[in-house]
Structure 1
Amino acid sequence: MKITVLQGSPHKNGSSNLLASEFIRGAKEAGHDVSVLDAAHMDMHPCLGCSRCGMNGECVHRDDNTIIRDAMLQSDMAVFVTPIYYFGMSAQLKMVIDRFYSYTTRLSGKKLKTVLITAAWDDNDDVMPCTVKHYEKLCRYMNFRDCGMVLGRGCGTLEATKGSRYPNDAYQLGRSL
């Protein structure tokens, strides 16, 4: 299976990317082809809602969205990786998802498998529900098939994340594919 990992953290060595690296390790050990796009550090611009693309054409922006689009359209699975900022995904990942608009028709027709990997500082029950609901709605709208989530709570530092169960959860999810 060809897997594209979309990292949405501005912290290259942060907790969410640590969890992603464990998922990747497991997926590679299971024999999958994994590529990583550091979306948070790519040249991206927000969707203008201009509809010039018609949901199935060229976007008015000339940026790295073409790299993401091509990778997504060639993949069997996408992995959304994000820290939790104010109970939602990072702006960097949200911008990537908003730009799906220019190829919604092609992308939703793929019935792509997806995974959500998150890391939040807080360790309480209400830190993840908004992000989970957003992800689930995205899956329904885009005809994605959710294959699992790693919702890392209490992962505010690398040390806390490494000492939690979440790196192993991410690894096991990758291995199970």
Structure 2
Amino acid sequence: MNSHHPEKRLLILVGSPRRDGNSAALGAAAQRGAEAAGTSATLLFLDDYIQGFLPDLRHAPAPDDRYAELFLEHFLPSDGTLVCTPIYWYGMSAQTKAFFDRSFSHYAGEGPEPARVKARMAGKRLGLAVASEETYPGAALGIVHQIQEYARYTHSDFVGYVHGAGNLRGEVAADPRRPLDAAARLGADFFTYKYSDYRLETPRARNVWESPAPALRSTPGGLP
């Protein structure tokens, strides 16, 4: 087991309205893994907080719901966030997209408050868990790319991704790829997994891991 990080706070956001659905199951598995590793983990359903989309803020106020509470009191103080969403039309759910869109109302403009919000948005660890009816590996690539771009934009680290298949409520548990186990591992390792994203000028050692495995012997056929 990795060393405990009780000071780290993981926020798990479920973008499905199903409390007993597959996205929720992935999120719950990640929460169990995180808590077993000593990490503080909170799981929230987005539709408890979001009841509307981003308006034209020049002419209309933001919807009167609990988004500000979610963003300011849960997301900003977290050290990492795991986004759990079903795949709807090869993208994230509307609730999940609204979470990212609505953040604009808190960091747009000048002044001390937007500057404070932008500073706290940056430098987080981010993860993704998706549930789909299709087992097709490319079904979630659009969502993966969107989270990657959000991570790049906010100078954050996209540390892991889990894809489970299931249509009936909780059916993801029957996926032979064992995505619930993978989600639990992601939760456990969220703040300890080695993250690297090299640039041309990045200093780096020859080995990827601190304790590399012994070199494998090669057989005459080229197989280890």
TM-score band, normalised by the shorter chain? 0.7 to 0.9
Provide the C-alpha distance between the structure 1 equivalents of 2:182 and 2:102, rounded to a whole number of angstroms.
30
Question: Per-residue displacement from partner, 1:59-87 (whole Å, max 9, x unpaired)?
Answer: 63332012211211111111111000110
Partner amino acid, structure 2, of 1:94: K
2:20 is the alignment partner of 1:13? yes
Query: Helix, strand or coil: the match of 1:169?
Result: helix
C-alpha deviation, 1:34, in angstroms: 1.1
1:170 maps to which residue? Answer: 183
Provide the C-alpha distance between the structure 2 equivalents of 1:112 and 1:176, rounded to a whole number of angstroms.
14
1:50 maps to which residue? Answer: 57
Query: Helix, strand or coil: the match of 1:127?
Result: helix
Partner amino acid, structure 2, of 1:34: A
C-alpha deviation, 1:160, in angstroms: 3.5
Provide the C-alpha distance between the structure 2 equivalents of 1:106 and 1:66, rounded to a whole number of angstroms.
15
Number of residue pairs the alignment of both structures matches: 170
Higher helix share: 1
Q: TM-score, normalised by structure 1?
A: 0.87
| Pair 1:102–1:123, CA change in 2 (3 A) | same
Task: Indicate if the aligned counterparts of 1:72 and 1:107 stay in contact, CA closer than 8 A.
Answer: no
1:128 maps to which residue? Answer: 140
Provide the C-alpha distance between the structure 1 equivalents of 2:118 and 2:155, rounded to a whole number of angstroms.
5
2:116 is the alignment partner of 1:109? no
Partner amino acid, structure 2, of 1:11: R
Between the aligned residues of both structures, percent identity stands at 25
Task: Indicate if the aligned counterparts of 2:28 and 2:43 stay in contact, CA closer than 8 A.
Answer: no
Task: Indicate if the aligned counterparts of 2:10 and 2:78 stay in contact, CA closer than 8 A.
Answer: yes
C-alpha deviation, 1:141, in angstroms: 1.4
Provide the C-alpha distance between the structure 2 equivalents of 1:160 and 1:10, rounded to a whole number of angstroms.
16
1:71 to 74, 81, 86: 74
Q: TM-score, normalised by structure 2?
A: 0.70
In structure 1, list runs of 5 or more residues that go unmatched.
53-58
C-alpha deviation, 1:92, in angstroms: 0.9
- What does 1:129-168 correspond to in 2, within 5 Å? 129-152=141-164, 154-158=165-169, 160-164=171-175, 165-168=178-181
Provide the C-alpha distance between the structure 2 equivalents of 1:114 and 1:106, rounded to a whole number of angstroms.
20
In structure 2, list runs of 5 or more residues that go unmatched.
1-7, 108-114, 191-224
1:81 maps to which residue? Answer: 84
